[in-house]
A and B are shown apart, each in its own frame.
Chain A
């Protein structure tokens, strides 16, 4: 967590969870567990979010919503699947309306198991997500630098 350059913002969406993980995610943000000490803040706007916390499995109705929320987020972005339902479908895996875990619809980076996931586990997932997010940002920056170099070379050759 040492080299984080900017405070990432967090978006939470309830897939088809039973609420247990949702209230634990909210409990994480309150002063007792205080995940906000890592510089994150809970936002309702996907266009300003960097980390996507998804709870609950994917069903036929919310699949498009989850996909859209993910697409609206700017890159780099990290997806954290909170709770066993978001990881695999959990106890509802055999239900007729459940497609599966969050990774059936969007790429998931970090899996936080538990039913309901405990706040300590969620905080651990968030901390890992922040590191991963910074690593992705650095990678994007490096790629951009290389591209800029290539552009300059091309310009020289043209001259």
Chain B
């Protein structure tokens, strides 16, 4: 038996934009075990329910994560709306769905760029981020922010989007789809990219199910699970299929995410075509009393929002379960037996969002 050594990985590491620490037990160049330790980004924002009232909390919850901030705000608002039995107007629902899908496009493009950077393909990284800037410009046009939008409120959305903007969004997203078709070729067919991705980090369907993985990470292992099919917001009216892959490796995860960008662009188009006229928000009076669960599909997988209220303006408890936390056991399984050089790449394939995980 070869000698074992422990190599610390992180919290500060060139490939990681965010801090996570792993102790990698190595035997020669092979990883035997990975021991994670998290907590570098823990803020304790869920406890702020004691200090901020339930309307203000929307803006705090949005800042759980800067990448999927819109969906966090949306999940929180839906949970409070569920407690208060508020039905938001159709236009509000469609706008929420549209922004949520735009978040998915920008999040997946960001991930593709980081993946390209992790396997050393610098120009591909820049191409992905150049395309992502177009989505951010759309966000800036419609909401005023690039990362944190703060357009959700309990009872609907704060800003309306006029027809000219909707047409621009449709045209720009179609441009992105056309450009992505070119880049897709590099990700899916390039010899060097395939050599880094294919057969690396295998997680079988059974393992993925037993370890409770979520989102594209689970779907790349052939599990048909997508919370959007439950039909929250306007998803019930839209037509889409669950994208899965049976590759079970990094290549499959890349494939699922690329296809999801096309799907999201299609959904944005459907939203704009069906966009109803009318109000964007209803007036909400009183304080919530009761508790509610909301499940929704974030770019990284299923997120659960739980709110408990007691009739005062402060919530009693607010809890978020985020997809990255569910995916960490799966990640540790894929790391076993991997090459040391593949570790940064494998960590990226779950699309880690540490600030979501630790809150």
Q: Which residues of A contact B (CB under 8 A)?
A: 12-24, 26-27, 30-32, 43-46, 56-57, 59, 61-62, 65, 69, 91-92, 94-98, 115-116, 118
Contact = CB atoms under 8 A, between A and B. Distances in A.
B63 A18 contact: yes
B146 A30 contact: no
B40 A61 contact: yes
A62 B42 CA distance: 9
A131 B43 CA distance: 34
B39 A61 contact: yes
A39 B257 CA distance: 34
Interface of B: 11-15, 17-19, 39-45, 47-48, 51, 59-60, 63-67, 69, 110, 125-126, 129-130, 132-133, 136, 145-148, 353, 355
A57 B66 contact: no
A105 B12 CA distance: 17
Contacts of A26: 17, 129
B126 A31 contact: yes
Contact of A94 (B48, B67, B133, B145): B48
Nearest to B63: A18
A22 B40 contact: no
Contact of B353 (A19, A61, A65): A19
Contact of A59 (B42, B126, B132, B147): B42
A12 B15 CA distance: 11
Contacts of A45: 14
A32 B41 CA distance: 29
A22 B66 contact: yes
Given A62-B11, A65-B11, A116-B148, A22 B17 contact: yes
Given A16-B43, A57-B43, A115-B63, A32 B353 contact: no
A45 B60 CA distance: 33
A18 B47 contact: no
A19 B355 contact: yes
A59 B48 CA distance: 16
- Among B40, B136, B146, B355, the one with the most A-chain Cβ atoms within 10 Å of its Cβ is B40
A116 B146 CA distance: 8
A68 B218 CA distance: 37
12 contacts: A13-B19, A17-B355, A18-B64, A20-B63, A20-B148, A21-B66, A22-B18, A27-B136, A30-B130, A32-B133, A44-B14, A92-B48
Which 6 A-B pairs give the minimum distances between C-beta atoms?
A44-B14, A20-B66, A19-B66, A20-B147, A116-B147, A30-B129
A97 B46 CA distance: 11
A86 to B, nearest CB: 13
B11 A23 contact: no
Nearest to B13: A44
Given A17-B355, A30-B126, A116-B145, 10 more contacts: A13-B19, A18-B63, A19-B66, A21-B66, A31-B129, A56-B41, A65-B11, A65-B19, A92-B63, A97-B42
Given A17-B355, A32-B130, A59 B43 contact: yes
A115 B15 CA distance: 24
Given A18-B355, A65-B11, A98 B126 contact: no
A104 to B, nearest CB: 14
A94 B145 CA distance: 24
A62 B10 CA distance: 12
B57 to A, nearest CB: 11
A46 B18 contact: no
B14 to A, nearest CB: 3
B44 A98 contact: yes
Given A23-B147, A94-B51, A32 B129 contact: yes
A69 B147 contact: no
Nearest to B52: A94
Contacts of B136: 27
Given A18-B65, A32-B130, A115 B148 contact: yes
Contact of B44 (A14, A56, A65, A97): A97
Contacts of A44: 12-15
B109 to A, nearest CB: 11
B73 to A, nearest CB: 12
